[in-house]
Amino acid sequence: MADGALASGHTEEDVDELARRFGHHDEDLDHAFETYRVLRSECPVGRSERYGSFWFFTRYEDIYRAEQDPQTFSVSPSMLLPSFGNKRPLIPIDIDPPMLGKYRRILLPSFAPAQIDAVEPMVRAVARDLIDKFVTRGHCDAALEFARPFPTLVFTRMAGFPEQDYDRFQDWVDRIIYLRTHDSAETALAADEIVHYFLAFREQRLQEPPRDDLVGKLLGAEIDGRTLTAEEFADYCFLLLIAGLETTAWAVRASLWHLAQHPEDQLLLRQRPELVAGAAEEFLRCLAPVQAMARTLKRDVEVGGKRLRQGERVLLVFGSGNRDGNVFDDPDRVRVEREDNPHFAFGVGVHRCLGANLGRRELRVALEEFIRRIPAFRLETGEVPPWWGVGPLPITFGKPVRSGGPA
Amino acid sequence: MRVKVNGDRCQGHSRCRVLAPQVFEADELGYSFVVASPVPPELEERALLAVRNCPERAIFIEEERPMGSEGPS
């Protein structure tokens, strides 16, 4: 150990191994934050052999610079690694400028802050209705009964996707997001099903009177003097479906995962609900649903002393940038009162998450309602479930105090 | 203190509108603009918080130069 030991206490061999095996999904996320810490200090720009081999950037500044240079760091063929099984680029995330801006402009007004202000009452009603179903029971699966259905119901209503297809949407999310690392054939099958579903859905909607939902906006949109093709419509809906459902579910679940284990933070937010908005930002910084996104180099570059070649893949590890001690004090601690928090949970640069304003509002409202209605809660089992993903989160809590009841 | 949003850099995260709503507003596409510049002294702290929370580094402070109106020199 002594000879090759680095400042972090790891040997050079350890760090090489960590870099070569670096991955950003599933069980790799169990120990991601420690991995990030070592890589940021010992190998901030490195190369992994996973997923067909890619470079990774783990420092905040390198990620920021790459995201300000979309000409060099292209999203073609896809920013997803591994892919969602789609045969064509997803819209808008897999599109480079200048087409990117044209696609985004179609839905930017629907996700602008004033529009999100207008849908907040609906968002809050969805959260309340879900909580009503388990509030008197004293325990629940906070993922299955709250974190997952909440954004699904909100987003299907906003988008105009048929609510009765809820189970199919969840099944697709599971197969796209969580099987892509293990079973790419199954993921490709799910991707085909999604595209066919939305092609048929488009035909159906075109027969109906126009509606003012996201689907209606896509159907009515014009770019370069033409309407969207059927494929463009399906590829846009595909992205909206996955992005609108899974990421917010993860963020809500991860926030409750933290709070269930930190009664002091629960207490603080109960006493000072005005802190929930900032706490939500902190949960996004530390436990973000999107830990990394990929790019492809359009030219040779040198970053962090490494020569990167045109055509190579680069993974921008937002989750690591979010814990960079050069930007955040005490970076590995969740501090719900943190004020300076320019994190990259929604990305940065021209690909900033289109639905960020909605996602943020959903998370804040979900936490406000959960904390207001559900008394002190904790994990139901001694075993701590993973922080990542949308898997079960069984929690237990006392029955709510009824007015007039015993103190 | 004067603040400016660089429209080329702003990507519409709206952190500034949340943190200092009396200083920043968002247009119909979600991009931010300043509604109170110079920033009233009681809002300066909030405006600076918005600057520090902008992930795009799109907000700039312009310190006002002391002018003749500051008083007799």
Q: Where does the pLDDT of residue B69 fall: very low under 50, low under 70, confident under 90, or very high at 90 and above? A: very low
Question: What ipTM does this complex have?
Answer: 0.93
Give the tens place of pLDDT for each residue, A113-139: 999 999 999 999 999 999 999 999 999
d(CA A172, CA A382): 31
Q: How many CB atoms lie within 10 A of CB A6?
A: 14
pTM for this entry: 0.94
Tally A–B CB contacts below 8 A.
Answer: 54
Contact B49 A339 (CB under 8 A): yes
- Among candidates A340, A342, A349 on the partner chain, residue whose Cβ is nearest the Cβ of B11: A349
Question: Above 50 in pLDDT, residue A192?
Answer: yes
pLDDT for A22-31, tens place per residue? 999 999 999 9
CA-to-CA separations, B12 to A68, A241, A353, B29, in angstroms, rounded? 14, 22, 10, 8
Q: Taking 70 as the threshold, does the pLDDT of residue B73 lie above it?
A: no
Residue A165: how many CB atoms within 10 A of its CB? 14
> SS3 for A352?
coil
Give the separation between CA A52 and CA A56, rounded to whole angstroms. Answer: 13
Q: Give the per-residue pLDDT at B62.
A: 87
pLDDT over threshold 80, residue B67: no
Ordered by start, the domain boundaries in chain B are 2-66
Handedness of CA A6, A10, A13, A16 (dihedral sign): negative
pLDDT band at A2 (very low <50, low <70, confident <90, very high): very low
* Residues in B touching A344 (Cβ below 8 Å): 55
pLDDT at A405 over 80: no
Q: Is the peptide bond before B21 cis (omega within 30 degrees of 0)?
A: no
Across the interface, which of B30, B49, B57 has its CB nearest the CB of A108? B30
Please classify residue A69 by burial: count the beta carbons closer than 10 Å to its beta carbon, then call 0-12 exposed, 13-18 middle and 19+ buried. Answer: middle
Domain B2-66 -> CATH class? alpha beta
Q: CB within 8 A of A362, min separation 6: which ones?
A: A123, A150, A151, A154, A248, A252
Among A96, A117, A72, A55, CA closest to A313: A55
Residue ranges per domain, chain A? 14-397
Tens of pLDDT along A126-177? 999 999 999 999 999 999 999 999 999 999 999 999 999 999 999 999 999 8
The helix-helix angle for A230-261 and A263-271 (nearest 10°) equals 100
What does the pLDDT look like over A302-360, one tens digit per residue? 999 999 999 999 999 999 999 999 999 999 999 999 999 999 999 999 999 999 999 99
Please state, in angstroms and as integers, the Cα–Cα distance from residue A56 to each residue in A11, A262, A347, A381, following that order.
20, 32, 15, 36
Residues A211-252: tens digit of each pLDDT: 999 999 999 999 999 999 999 999 999 999 999 889 999 999
For the domain made up of A14-397, give the CATH fold: Cytochrome p450 (1.10.630)
Instruction: State the Cα–Cα distance between residues A391 and A286, nearest whole angstrom.
Output: 18
Which stretches of A49-202 are assigned E, i.e. beta strand?
A: 54-57, 73-74, 139-141
Give A-chain residues touching B28 at CB under 8 angstroms: 109, 112, 114
The secondary structure of A307-334 as a DSSP string is EE-TT-EEEE-HHHHTT-TTTSSSTTS-
How does the average pLDDT of chain A come out, rounded? 95
Nearest-by-CA chain A residue for B48: A340
Tokens for A107, please give them.
């839905």
